[in-house]
Structure 1
Amino acid sequence: MRYLPLTDTDRADMLAKIGASSIDDLFVDVPAVAQLDGPIHDLPMHASEMAVERHMKSRAGKNLAAGDAPFFLGAGAYRHHVPASVDTVIQRGEFLTAYTPYQPEIAQGTLQMLFEFQTQVARLYGCAVANASLYDGSTACWEAVAMASRVTKRKRAVLSGALHPHYAQVVKTMAQFTGDEIADAQPSIQTEPDLDGLISRIDEETACVVVQYPDILGRISDLSKVAEAAHAKGALLIAVNTEPVALGAIKSPGELGADIVVGEGQSIGVGLQFGGPYLGLFAVRDPKHVRQMPGRLCGETTDAEGKRGFVLTLSTREQHIRREKATSNICTNSGLCALAFSVHMTLLGEKGLRELAAENHRLACMTADRLAQVPGVSLLNTAFFNEFTIMLDGKPAREIVRDLADRGVLGGVSLGRLYPGVEALENALLVAVTETTTEDDIDRLATELHDALAGTQAKEPAQ
């Protein structure tokens, strides 16, 4: 029996209070094609628990899991090895059950962890201050755009065409409610990012310029050139990083002049997990911008007895006392994922992160060289970290990706899937390589890609 505590009168009163004539008015922003007009037709109205378990196990058995095949997917979510000790620590009861540390006297462990996490993120990003994390990389990107608007008192954001399209879409979606003008673009298929084209779009009304580093095609830009151009127009530079392991090998965005650095922390300590929960990272280079940061900030202090302690120094989200004056309505900070990130980063240390980055790059170079030998394949990038773009001669990448999956290889992400309808990207395939990739995996990808491009029939999987 469903528990519905509200009566029809209660619901009518609530709708009247907010000026809605019916419950359907609450969903006007959801496209009609995405709305159900009744129950899902191919599902029974009820079933026993055992029947549901059998059905779901049967469906799950059709999946090709990341650990069961050569894996080359990336585009913002990466398969890295997570040490077992990370899971051991985050499963401890005092961490696993903790919520918002409103009372510092009973939340010292959580607060100290977040303080250490902030220190790690700030050092990784080359910034002065980092917050206690956000939902994920895409929402952190929007929060940076909103913050730049507050700082500069301007409402125009220029997005690089090589920014992850999902991040760009989140920014455009949120901007509908703030009145910000979003000047976006599409990526150009060329070896080097078109920085001059990006710079030419910056004007005196620009609040910020948003670039990805490395970008969606795996290319690595000289951010200092963009930073100089943005600052000359009074704008801020926002750098987005979706692969934090890369920062063990390349210069930090803050070091190159980025004013706000945001990104996705999933690569360190957090598994793929079917797309979430993930971890948004956020930092600023100039301490004077700290009060415009979203979310919350943990700080170090001393108690009445002079002992070291930790507190929530800044809480700008609406759930705290600022309410409608808050800089953000982010209501959580993916705290358990932040803990996983911090534990993994602590285990690595600076030396371990650099070694991990070097191994990622070594294997990626090996893969790129091997694939470049396949007839009908050309490498777009001249420089990359662990992700690069290959062009398939006369073959739509989406078809090849599906063919490779049938052959037992998760061969990459089709850029035509990320940019539907963009003809120039239909033959482009984004390939990611991490320390979990073996040389046998690389050979298998090259062999199966050769056969897929040649139109050779896929072999039946071994029983």
Structure 2
Amino acid sequence: MEMQNFSHLPNTEADRRKMLEKIGVGSLEELLNNAVPSEIQFAGKLPIPDGLSDVDVQKLLEKLASMNAGSGMKDFIGGGAYDMYVPAAVDEISGRPEFYTAYTPYQPEVSQGTLTAIFEFQSMICGLTGMDVANASMYDGASATAEAAILAIHKTGRKRILYSQGLNPLYLEVVRTYLHGFDAELVPVPIKDGITDVDALKKLADENTACFILQNPNFFGIVEDGTQFDEIIHSSGGLYVVVVADPTSLGILRPPGEYNADVVAGEGQQFGNYLYFGGPYLGFFAAKKEFVRSMPGRIIGATKDVDGRRGFVMVFQTREQHIRRARATSNICTNQQLCALRATVYLALLGAQGFYAISKLLFNRAHYLADKLTEIDGVELLFDAPFFREFAIKLPRKADEIIDELSQVGILAGLNVGKLIPSMDDVLLVAVSDKYGKNDMDEFVVAMRNAL
């Protein structure tokens, strides 16, 4: 074996000879022959091409990437995952080795950088949601929602979960999976004209109800009036859980804490994270202070060291590997720290005014695009209700046909709602982005008109 092929190894030929002499063998081949039977050794040379220069590697990777059907397409798909612009500073800072390769900060004396970043993330989530406390992050918005339902079961001793039919169907499936074994009952609260039916909730909420789950804005992009549900669910003794699958809405909408939510669960992917072919994503979980000891995951807190200097430590970790299993609130094993770091950098770069500006931009673009699309014959809004940055339109043809046709001209037209709700196969859920401006939206409208 020619060791010069391994130019990345720091040992010199003299170093290798000394090590081989020390263990009593004359060559690396002799060492391997002593350890690996000859009949299972590979004879010959692996069909691996010669190495390339950095420039040639980049060209090759760009060529391979261009073969991706979605490369360069304009993405108007929403439904919980959004193609948002990621500032270069997010990649630069999150890619630093002290963050990129860091593991769980069990030793605070050598983990202050990571612990500080988590503490800042928690603080930002509390600020956005209006809640008292947030954890270090969850796997994604769907699992955070499921953990909120489990918290409600534990706190109330009840097993009846009410949920608005405006909840993302994919989130609902994850909730159903998490609750397997709890003998819990999932009860839908219908929507009326795109908005959760308050009268239906009044009839369904009773002394057996653990919680009511409201997504706001809901799956169809509609903005709900969260103040309508507080008294109803709390008067029955249940908890009020609000899911924020699109937290950019919190730049202009009232935070759940202001309408007395007990728990807020959500998805933070659009904060400095790419679509990543579906993951990893970033769930967040916030609650009133009274529920802090029932929250899943870990919480970082501020403290002082023996010299009185401010520092950060892990103050709660109610995980079954770390405490008595019977007292564990969840079996979540980690937090999405690298994704959470990216979100923290993104939000810090924007600041309060920048975040408001992004939210307002998305709101304005969504309403511009909706107005233009509904000028096309046969296209109409599914619901006549206020929306934030995405909206559902009813088409004169099946949505999957339109999606296929527009993909041929470089446009991902939206989410085929029929894939999740079979009765709505002519409904397209469209989301806007800060990446695609007026010209891109006008191009989308022309393509839609031509397809119809």
Please classify the TM superposition score into its range, dividing by the shorter chain length: 0.7 to 0.9
2:11 paired residue number: none
**Structure 1 position 168 matched with structure 2 position 172:** yes
| TM-score, length-scaled by structure 1 | 0.82
Matches within 5 A, 1:138-157: 138-157=142-161
**Structure 1 position 410 matched with structure 2 position 409:** no
Contact preservation (8 Å) 1:389, 1:431: yes
Equivalent residue letter for 2:394:
M
| Structure 2: 5+ residue stretches without partners | 1-45, 50-56
Contact preservation (8 Å) 2:81, 2:269: yes
Compared with structure 1, are the counterparts of its residues 62 and 418 closer, same or farther at alpha carbon in structure 2 (3 Å cutoff)?
A: farther
Compared with structure 1, are the counterparts of its residues 75 and 328 closer, same or farther at alpha carbon in structure 2 (3 Å cutoff)?
A: same
CA distances 1:398-423 after superposition (whole Å, capped 9, x unpaired): 2211221123210000110122x3x2
Name which of 382, 385, 394 aligns with 1:391: 394
1:268 paired residue number: 271
Q: Which of 1 and 2 has greater Rg?
A: 2
1:120 paired residue number: 124
In 2: Cα distance, 1:446 partner to 1:390 partner: 13
Name which of 85, 88, 95 aligns with 2:92: 88
Q: Relative to structure 2, which stretch is displaced further, 212-221 or 56-65? A: 56-65
| TM-score, length-scaled by structure 2 | 0.84
Matches within 5 A, 1:7-22: none
Matches within 5 A, 1:265-344: 265-284=268-287, 286-344=288-346
In 2: Cα distance, 1:139 partner to 1:72 partner: 25
Name which of 234, 238, 244 aligns with 2:241: 238
In 2: Cα distance, 1:58 partner to 1:269 partner: 26
Structure 2 SS opposite 1:299? strand
In 1: Cα distance, 2:434 partner to 2:214 partner: 26
Structure 2 SS opposite 1:184? strand
Structure 1 position 186, deviation (Å): 6.7
CA distances 1:102-141 after superposition (whole Å, capped 9, x unpaired): 1111111111111111000011011000001011111000
Structure 1 SS opposite 2:75? coil
Structure 2 SS opposite 1:200? helix
**Structure 1 position 134 matched with structure 2 position 138:** yes
**Structure 1 position 433 matched with structure 2 position 410:** no
Structure 2 SS opposite 1:198? helix
Compared with structure 1, are the counterparts of its residues 403 and 315 closer, same or farther at alpha carbon in structure 2 (3 Å cutoff)?
A: same
Contact preservation (8 Å) 2:166, 2:195: no
CA distances 1:406-452 after superposition (whole Å, capped 9, x unpaired): 23210000110122x3x2x1211100002111211111111111121
Name which of 353, 356, 371 aligns with 2:355: 353
Structure 1 position 323, deviation (Å): 3.9
Contact preservation (8 Å) 1:70, 1:444: no
Structure 1 position 159, deviation (Å): 1.3
1:214 paired residue number: 217
2:31 paired residue number: none
1:259 paired residue number: 262
1:36 paired residue number: none
Compared with structure 1, are the counterparts of its residues 198 and 405 closer, same or farther at alpha carbon in structure 2 (3 Å cutoff)?
A: farther
Equivalent residue letter for 1:407:
V
Compared with structure 1, are the counterparts of its residues 149 and 432 closer, same or farther at alpha carbon in structure 2 (3 Å cutoff)?
A: same
- The CA RMSD measured in Å over matched residues stands at 2.2
Contact preservation (8 Å) 1:193, 1:219: no
In 1: Cα distance, 2:204 partner to 2:152 partner: 17
1:368 paired residue number: 370
Equivalent residue letter for 1:309:
G
Contact preservation (8 Å) 1:363, 1:437: no
| Structure 1: 5+ residue stretches without partners | 1-46, 454-463
In 2: Cα distance, 1:167 partner to 1:197 partner: 21
Contact preservation (8 Å) 2:194, 2:220: no
Structure 1 position 62, deviation (Å): 4.6
In 2: Cα distance, 1:319 partner to 1:133 partner: 18
Structure 1 position 199, deviation (Å): 3.6
2:20 paired residue number: none
